[in-house]
């Protein structure tokens, strides 16, 4: 008996699916699964940067999507490889309602796997969401959830690595070609038009400055999108956010920055002048497509950073903000946290008046 065919160590035609397909359908489904698994492994997480899912996630999603296909065939009138959003919604609802013992973590993974499948099927702009809520497996939507000190440092270090490329002079001709193909795709231009500036841009300071500034200032996603170059005061190492630019149009705010964050912002401001898309705008940061950053684009960035950092839980951009409030309140008190987070009301800052987990653990040790 021949061994089952595999891609990325994953069986292309699992036994349950093999048992419900005819010979022609088996060939079609095997080819479909080969394309799907290869895409998930190599670019599914972020097609723009050619970043695929980690092995454990890849295996999990492949299993989930095989079960989804079988359910859809049974409930949708037969074999197909093209599913509309309604089918995904019905499957997720069936999973949620039919088995009360399923964990929120599993349901969340089913949702993420379906979202990835629709991006594979329809293109990376497909941003399907079900009409009902599935709780995040991390609970990161809870205002009390925050990035720990170790995770904050890991994110800072990951931002230094994210999107970087090796030095051109240190690569073999074969490796240079591989990296040129990657950059050509990343910048949507032919390989023969790549320049030294493109190579240098890959190791630029945009992402580093976004991450470090947000870790210092607790920037909301909307504030990352609204940030202007005139906010940055390099000499005094602060952000100066005028009332008309603040997320709630309340007061002028002065927000402290670390020295290394100010250095990265200075580097970015110099680099930013080289790009034509910034010629007619004061926006501090724009996406590759020339748009202000949004919650969706920041979610993708943070997902990639957590994987580089080895953080094995899902984080939200607001978890970064909550960490600023939590640790600023611990170190300098609620007044400092209120100012750093730009809260009009002290009551809003009160939720950060709690001892972080590591502090409470130290207290138990002392007790």
2-46 tens-digit pLDDT: 677 888 889 999 989 988 899 999 999 999 999 999 999 998 888
Instruction: Give dist(CA 117, CA 126) in Å, integer.
Output: 10
Q: What would the mean pLDDT of 120-144 be, rounded to a whole number?
A: 70
Task: With a cut of 70, say whether residue 68 has pLDDT above it.
Answer: yes
Q: Compute how many other C-beta atoms are within 10 angstroms of the C-beta atom of residue 242.
A: 13
Instruction: Please report which helix (H) or strand (E) contains residue 288, including its range.
Output: none
Instruction: Give dist(CA 45, CA 54) in Å, integer.
Output: 9
Can you give the C-alpha Rg of the chain in angstroms? 23
Taking a C-beta distance cutoff of 8 angstroms, is the pair 7, 59 a contact? no
Q: Who contacts 169 (Cβ-Cβ below 8 Å, separation ≥6)?
A: none
Sign of the dihedral through C-alpha 139, 56, 149, 323: negative
- Per-residue pLDDT at 352: 60
Q: Any bridge partners for residue 11, and if so which? A: 6
Counting residues of the chain whose pLDDT is more than 90, the rounded percentage is 32
Task: With a cut of 60, say whether residue 101 has pLDDT above it.
Answer: no
Helix 317-332 / helix 149-161 crossing angle, nearest 10 deg: 130
Q: What pLDDT digit, counting tens, does each position of 341-351 carry?
A: 776 666 666 66
3-state DSSP call for residue 250? coil
Question: Is 0.85 topped by the overall pTM?
Answer: no
| Residue position matching structure tokens 């809003």 | 348
3-state DSSP call for residue 24? helix
Q: Which residue has the higher pLDDT, 87 or 127?
A: 87
Task: With a cut of 80, say whether residue 201 has pLDDT above it.
Answer: no
Q: Which residue has the higher pLDDT, 307 or 274?
A: 307
* Cα Dmax for the chain: 74
Q: Which residue has the higher pLDDT, 243 or 261?
A: 261
CA angle 300–190–293, rounded 5-degree value: 25
Q: Which residue has the higher pLDDT, 340 or 366?
A: 340
Q: What would the mean pLDDT of 144-148 be, rounded to a whole number?
A: 72
Rounded to 10 degrees, the C-alpha dihedral 84/87/91/92 comes to: 50
Nearest to 343 by CA among 144, 351, 330, 237: 351
Q: What would the mean pLDDT of 253-261 be, rounded to a whole number?
A: 87
Task: With a cut of 90, say whether residue 115 has pLDDT above it.
Answer: yes
Burial class (CB in 10 A: 0-12, 13-18, 19+), 207: buried
Min mean pLDDT across 88-92, 179-183, 223-227 is at 179-183
Q: Compute how many other C-beta atoms are within 10 angstroms of the C-beta atom of residue 93.
A: 13
Taking a C-beta distance cutoff of 8 angstroms, is the pair 361, 277 a contact? no
Q: What would the mean pLDDT of 303-325 be, rounded to a whole number?
A: 87
Q: What would the mean pLDDT of 139-145 be, rounded to a whole number?
A: 45
| Alpha helices for 162-316 (secondary structure H) | 173-187, 196-202, 206-217, 221-226, 259-272, 295-309
Which pLDDT band holds residue 140 (cuts at 50, 70, 90)? very low
Q: How far is CA 245 from CA 240, 261, 291, in A?
A: 10, 21, 17
3-state DSSP call for residue 132? coil
- Per-residue pLDDT at 251: 65
Which pLDDT band holds residue 170 (cuts at 50, 70, 90)? confident
Most confident of 22-31, 99-108, 132-141: 22-31
Which pLDDT band holds residue 84 (cuts at 50, 70, 90)? very high
CA angle 361–142–65, rounded 5-degree value: 110
Task: With a cut of 70, say whether residue 139 has pLDDT above it.
Answer: no
Most confident of 86-90, 217-221, 331-335: 86-90
Instruction: Give dist(CA 333, CA 363) in Å, integer.
Output: 19
Instruction: Give dist(CA 193, CA 303) in Å, integer.
Output: 31
Instruction: Give dist(CA 218, CA 213) in Å, integer.
Output: 8
Q: What are the extents of the domains in the chain?
A: 6-122, 149-164+203-357
Instruction: Give dist(CA 186, CA 201) in Å, integer.
Output: 11
Task: With a cut of 70, say whether residue 367 has pLDDT above it.
Answer: no
Provide the mean pLDDT of the chain.
82
- Per-residue pLDDT at 138: 44
Which pLDDT band holds residue 141 (cuts at 50, 70, 90)? very low
Q: Compute how many other C-beta atoms are within 10 angstroms of the C-beta atom of residue 314.
A: 18
- What are the structure tokens assigned to 154, written together? 């890991």
CATH number, domain 149-164+203-357: 1.10.443.10
Task: With a cut of 70, say whether residue 182 has pLDDT above it.
Answer: yes
Instruction: Give dist(CA 64, CA 102) in Å, integer.
Output: 13
Phi, psi of 256 (to 5 degrees): -70, 150
């Amino acid at each position: 008996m021949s061994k089952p065919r595999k891609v990325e160590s994953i069986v292309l035609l699992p036994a349950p699916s093999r048992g419900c397909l005819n010979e022609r359908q088996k060939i079609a489904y095997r080819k479909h699964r080969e394309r799907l698994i290869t895409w998930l492994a190599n670019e599914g997480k972020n097609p723009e940067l050619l970043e695929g899912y980690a092995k454990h996630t890849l295996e999990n999603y492949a299993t989930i999507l095989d079960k989804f296909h079988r359910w859809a065939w049974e409930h949708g009138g037969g074999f197909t490889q093209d599913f509309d959003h309604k089918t995904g919604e019905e499957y997720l609802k069936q999973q949620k309602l039919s088995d009360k013992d399923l964990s929120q973590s599993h349901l969340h993974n089913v949702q993420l796997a379906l979202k990835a499948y629709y991006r594979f099927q329809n293109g990376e702009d497909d941003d399907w969401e079900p009409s009902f809520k599935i709780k995040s497996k991390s609970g990161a939507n809870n205002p009390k959830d925050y990035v720990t000190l170790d995770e904050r440092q890991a994110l800072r270090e990951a931002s230094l690595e994210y999107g970087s490329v090796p030095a051109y002079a240190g690569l073999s001709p074969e490796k240079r070609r591989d990296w040129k193909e990657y950059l050509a795709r990343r910048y949507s231009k032919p390989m023969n038009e790549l320049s030294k500036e493109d190579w240098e841009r890959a190791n630029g300071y945009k992402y580093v400055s976004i991450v470090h500034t947000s870790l210092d200032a607790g920037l909301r996603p909307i504030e990352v999108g609204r940030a202007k170059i005139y906010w940055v005061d390099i000499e005094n190492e602060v952000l100066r956010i005028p009332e008309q630019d603040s997320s709630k149009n309340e007061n002028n705010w002065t927000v402290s920055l670390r020295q290394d964050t100010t250095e990265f912002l200075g580097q970015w401001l110099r680099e930013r002048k080289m790009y034509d898309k910034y010629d007619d705008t004061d926006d501090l940061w724009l996406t590759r497509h020339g748009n202000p950053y949004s919650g969706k684009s920041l979610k993708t960035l943070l997902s990639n950073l957590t994987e580089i950092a080895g953080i094995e839980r899902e984080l939200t951009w607001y978890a970064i903000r909550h960490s600023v409030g939590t640790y600023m309140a611990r170190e300098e008190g609620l007044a400092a946290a209120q100012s750093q987070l730009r809260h009009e009301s002290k009551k809003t800052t009160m939720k950060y008046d709690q001892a972080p987990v590591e502090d409470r653990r130290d207290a138990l040790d002392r007790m």
